[in-house]
Chains A and B, each alone.
Chain A
């Protein structure tokens, strides 16, 4: 298994531009999570899906952020318009319903200038 695959690995964009981060979870995993990691706030849960349905998006910072999961093998996190304070590493993770640990992707390092 290739694990959780995120793309791109690095993204540099100008303030105001739209940014789309992509994630392919492990096949068969029921849950998908989007996290953001910054030096100031550590790891924050943004949103998670169960069987492609968004369950809790209370961590999404504001309306500029949106996430979708059109099918079991793909999810996107979109920021429109992007701002410099969105600069962070964004992680996607997937998990089985039955418990156990989470498998994280390698992350997308986003820099908004």
Chain B
């Protein structure tokens, strides 16, 4: 069965410190992986995506994620948090091979402390 697990429902970091949002997936195939961000009362915005090219993916707003097949992980990182990063982040798996569903993680709410 395919699944996505975001290990933390809430993460709090101080402004200027690194951010780590964890995501593990389970898939029988080589999936495409995405991170989306949702700011309060807004829609979802694509941060970055992995589609079997480079394993280290750079996204918008200074975020990046590394695909580690051996660990089935796709953790999202940022070297220095900014107040505007406070939002909910979703890790997403897109299934290949003609089944075009995507599976969302439960989300991680990122809090930035001044």
**Residues of A with Cβ closer than 8 Å to B?**
4, 31, 33, 42-43, 45, 48, 50, 55-56, 91, 93, 95, 99-107, 109
Contacts and interface: CB of A to CB of B under 8 A. Distances in A.
Nearest to A35: B104
Given A101-B34, A101-B49, A43 B100 contact: no
Q: Is the interface of A mostly helix, strand, loop or mixed?
A: strand
Interface residues of B, number: 19
Interface of B: 32, 34, 36, 41-46, 49, 51, 90, 94, 100-102, 104, 106-107
Contact of B44 (A50, A56, A91, A95): A91
Given A45-B101, A48-B101, A105 B51 contact: no
B100 A104 contact: no
* 9 tightest Cβ-Cβ pairs between the two chains A and B: A101-B46, A106-B43, A104-B44, A43-B104, A104-B43, A101-B49, A42-B106, A107-B43, A101-B34
B42 A106 contact: yes
